[in-house]
Amino acid sequence: MLMIKPTEKRKVFVYGSLRTGFFNYDKYLKGNVLNCEAAKIKGKLFHMPNKGYPAVLDGDDYIYGEVMTVDNYEEIMVAMDEMEGYYGENNTDNEYTRIIMDVEMAETGAIEKCYVYKYGLNDEDEFNKHKIYISHGDWKNFMTKFKKDA
């Protein structure tokens, strides 16, 4: 499938396996991050144990993550789109959709408009069967505890 290049150059908010210290950070971002800042968005965060990664849906909780400024921008964004199963706006095959959201920077409280990958919820029954709601909004902390308890 044809991958869609981002039309605007923006920072990316990551909340799951693309965060510092996780496997997809090492695979897709390591060596290409110019700046990384703690931040948060509004939504609802879930872990999908059947897939091993998180999902963000609409909601009013805070979800914690990192805002990445990346080098080799187009190359990195195309690779991340592919990893996230994003094939373009309104594509029914999208697992995640790359959207623009208001992101609150932890250090300054400033709001920046960044790309965020939001879960597509293509198979709601399958999602509801496996989902684990993360009320505290931090997948990194959840996974640290999840792995200790496993």
Residues forming the active site: 84
> Which of these, 103, 3, 100, lies nearest to 62 by C-alpha position?
103
Q: Which residues contact residue 18 at a Cβ distance below 8 angstroms, ignoring those fewer than 6 apart? A: 12, 24, 25, 28, 29, 68, 80
Concatenated DSSP letters for 43-79? EEEEEETTTTEEEEEEEEEEEEEEEEEESSHHHHHHH
Three-state secondary-structure class, residue 96: strand
